[in-house]
Amino acid sequence: MDFSLAPELTELRDRTTAFIRDKIVPLERDPRQGRHGPTDAFRRELNALATTAGLLAPHVGVEWGGLGLSHVGKAVVFEEAGYSLLGPLAMNISAPDEGNMHLLEAVATAEQKERFLRPLAGGEIRSCFCMTEPAPGAGSDPAALATTARRDGNHWIIDGTKWFITGADGAGFAIIMARAEEGATMFLADMTTPGIEVVRAMDSLDQGFPGGHGVVRFSGLRVPAGDILGEPGKGFRYAQVRLAPARLTHCMRWLGAAKRAHAIATAYAQKREVFGQVLGAHEGVGFMLADNEMDIRMSRLAIWQTAWVLDQGGRGGTESSMAKVVCSEAIWRVVDRCVQILGGQGVTGETLVERIFREVRGFRIYDGPSEVHRWSIAQRVMKQGANW
């Protein structure tokens, strides 16, 4: 495997780094950020900055206004964007929109792409992905899908409740997973359609996603047959088209945030003097910094190898599961160590580390908890044996 980067990707990486440092980091204290994410007006201003820099939605195809990045290209650029918690939002590569764009590019019809993908890629609207349900519905086990879809002439009627739906409040449209007679099926629906209700916002540790995380109820929602995404009964197959790369892009973005926390903690350890020498010279702190360096390096290698598999046309299911566990836990360790190094400042808003700490904790849960991925990997081992 060749780990060198093509000159054009190196240039794009450096341009992204400069954009985040010069244009986005200075806006991190902007007051238009609340308990349930940045305001839409603030998002649009950030998107305008990225558009001017030629960095809006670089992952989508050129025909949709992007740069058509490969998975390896995304790994490089998304990590740099993640250095600021506002970076992915500014560049329109944050969840759930980034994953939804990928899915629409892969599955949607030409008409659906013009209606949903083009304005989404351009930052004109946001979107949400409605999959997770309250118990006993679908969570880590998608087979428990409880939301139903039944035919009614040339329409489908959808009923059910979803929760932990990121970005639901203020989204332009939703991708809805429901159980039809043919099996799990995906539907597209404008969020203003009668029968869709955003019941409430859910308070959570993080606050970086516009619209927060919401409870959404579908009551007799009528969806035209032409708004099925893909084919009836193939929803779980399409979910894998979305989820394997989306797990990986989460890893990329949060790795950038871990790098930022590490940089803040390192700078503090280099100048803070205690017991006659700078903090980082004490072995206990120095070892934490060294462990951070190793966790960041190993996470990047796991991401790049999985991205390479996807670029070769592989499904990358097992690889992305492994990368998701490895990265989510390593990133958590990095940020947790940074809190410890900063001491009292680490648990306050004096630096960005406390905020990063809250943002990354959920990553060990969403897109499959570590335990579920381990269980899935173990099943493959028991079935196929150790094949390394």
54/116 same-domain check? yes
Q: Are residues 264 and 226 in the same domain?
A: no
At 388 the pLDDT is 62
pLDDT at 243: 85
Ramachandran angles phi, psi of 214, nearest 5°: -125, 165
Domain final position from 97, 121, 145: 121
42 part of a folded domain? yes
Domain assignment present for 134: yes
With respect to residue 59, please indicate whether it lies within any of the assigned structural domains.
yes
Task: Tell me, yes or no, whether 149 and 272 share the same domain.
Answer: no
226 has pLDDT over 90:
yes
pLDDT of residue 302: 98
Mark whether 31 and 56 lie in a shared domain: yes
Give the Cβ contact number of residue 253 at 10 Å.
Answer: 25
The sign one gets for the Cα dihedral 216, 222, 228, 231 is positive
Average pLDDT over residues 84-111: 98
- What is the pLDDT confidence band of residue 164, given thresholds at 50, 70 and 90? very high
pLDDT at 341 > cutoff 80 = yes
| The pairing of beta strand 37-38 with beta strand 183-190 | unpaired
Instruction: Tell me how far apart the alpha carbons of residues 239 and 100 are, in angstroms, rounded to a whole number.
Output: 10
Q: Determine the Cα–Cα distance for residues 100 and 190; give it in Å rounded to an integer.
A: 14
Residue 2, domain member (yes or no): no
Residue 386 pLDDT more than 90? no
Band (37; pLDDT cuts 50, 70, 90): very high
Q: Provide the domain limits for residue 331.
A: 236-384
Query: Residue 239: what pLDDT?
Result: 93
pLDDT band at 97 (very low <50, low <70, confident <90, very high): very high
Nearest alpha-carbon partner for 235 in 145, 363, 150, 328: 145
Q: What is the pLDDT of residue 244?
A: 86
For the chain, give the percent of residues with pLDDT over 70.
99
SS3 state at 153 = coil
What angle (nearest 5°) sits at the alpha carbon of residue 95, between those of residues 91 and 98?
60
Q: Give the pLDDT score at 2.
A: 83
Q: What CATH number does the domain containing 162 carry?
A: 2.40.110.10
Check which CATH number belongs to the domain holding 65 and give it: 1.10.540.10
Q: Is residue 1 part of a domain?
A: no
Reading the block at residue 190, the tokens are: 């404008």
Measured CA to CA, the distance from residue 166 to residue 161 in angstroms comes to 14
pLDDT tens column, 62-90: 999 999 999 999 999 999 999 999 999 99
Residues 255 and 190 in one domain: no
Quick one: pLDDT band at residue 20, thresholds 50, 70, 90? very high
Query: Domain ends where: 121, 137, 163?
Result: 121
CA 274 to each of CA 79, 155, 292, 354: distance values in angstroms, whole numbers, following the listed order: 33, 70, 21, 22
User: Does residue 368 fall inside a structural domain?
Assistant: yes
CA 270 to CA 343: how far, in whole Å?
Answer: 14
220 and 262 share a domain? no
- The count of domains in the chain is 3
Q: Is the pLDDT of residue 1 over 80?
A: no
Instruction: Clarify whether residues 152 and 116 are in a common domain.
Output: no
Residues 199 and 273 reside in one and the same domain: no
Give the DSSP per-residue string, 50-74. HHHTT-SSTTS-GGGTS----HHHH
Helices first, then strands: H and E counts in the chain: 12, 12
Mean pLDDT of 336-345: 98
Determine the Cα–Cα distance for residues 134 and 195; give it in Å rounded to an integer.
Answer: 19
For 244, the token pair is 């394997």
Secondary element (H or E) of residue 321: helix 317-342
Do 363 and 324 have their domain in common?
yes
User: 222 and 240, same structural domain?
Assistant: no
Distance CA 212, CA 36 (A): 4
Residue 329: CATH number of its domain? 1.20.140.10
Q: Are residues 225 and 275 in the same domain?
A: no
The reply to whether omega before 245 is within 30° of 0 (cis) is no
* Residues 302, 264 share a domain: yes
Domain end marker among 186, 215, 233: 233
